Amino acid sequence: MTPVHDPASGRYIELPRPWPATAWASVALLLALVAACLWVVDASLSRLWAGLPRLGMWLGRAWPPDFSDFPTLMLRAGETLAIGTLGTGFACILALPLALLAARPLTPSPLVRQPVRAFLDALRGVDGFIFALVFVAAVGLGPFAGMLGVLLHSAGSIAKLWSEDLESADPGPLEALGQAGAGRARVALFALLPDRLPSLASIALYVWEFNVRASTVLGVVGAGGLGQELKSAIDLLAFDRVFAILLVILALVTAIDRLGALIRRRLG
């Protein structure tokens, strides 16, 4: 803002400053990026408009939902829940030592910390869907491959978030224990982890909720769960069954989200 004197009132009025050239260049660059992305994805409103009648026909065929094979849907829902839960649980076990090695207060040496962080970035950089596809080829079709895919990707994500959370801890108690002669393992076990346990558990819960949602589509690559039934129904154009599967997915995800929120409130 630039102050300008107003003769009528005798006061100074703050006038907005014009945008600098760098701001206009940033806006132009952003617009160019959006235009390039639209060109790459071949966005076309005419194609969308032409496809709306087909979409409306499919929606009409989806009612009423087909729950005729309800036990199979429940089995697949159980597989989805198991994939997300076991994958997250084992990921937490793998992530804990990696997070301690990646946290600066416990691992001050960059020769150890930086390679661990690079490894975590590699795990996070490959989506669980890709890991599941690889494990389907390695161990065969089924939810076991999906669990392994979720495990590896989630281990990188959890360890990364945990290490950042550990670095935000109050250094006072850690330094006091260190000066008293406690090693890094004791500092982590008796000071750092107990202090950060609620936030670490909250992070794990968020990842668990995400993994259960993500596990609903892993079956598209043969990794079991509701995604496998969903792909089969879409291939057969059985939209009433597709709608039933989507309702089951919605109910499962909603229940997991509410349970996770309840547990986080209990953790305080």
Closest by Cα among 120, 48, 71 to 91: 120
- pLDDT tens-digit map of 257-268: 888 778 777 766
- Contact indicator for 240, 65 with CB cutoff of 8 Å: yes
- pLDDT tens-digit map of 133-169: 888 888 887 788 888 888 988 888 898 888 888 777 6
Contacts of 12 (CB under 8 A, 6+ apart): 3, 4, 5, 6
Q: Provide the 8-state DSSP code for 139.
A: H
- Contact indicator for 264, 202 with CB cutoff of 8 Å: yes
- pLDDT tens-digit map of 45-54: 777 787 777 7
Q: Domain segments of the chain: what residues?
A: 2-61, 70-267
Q: How far apart are CA 200 and CA 235, in angstroms?
A: 41
Give the pLDDT of residue 32: 92
CATH number of 70-267: 1.10.3720.10
Q: At what angle do helices 110-125 and 143-167 cross, to 10 degrees?
A: 140
- pLDDT tens-digit map of 163-213: 888 777 655 555 555 555 555 556 666 566 666 777 888 888 888 888 888
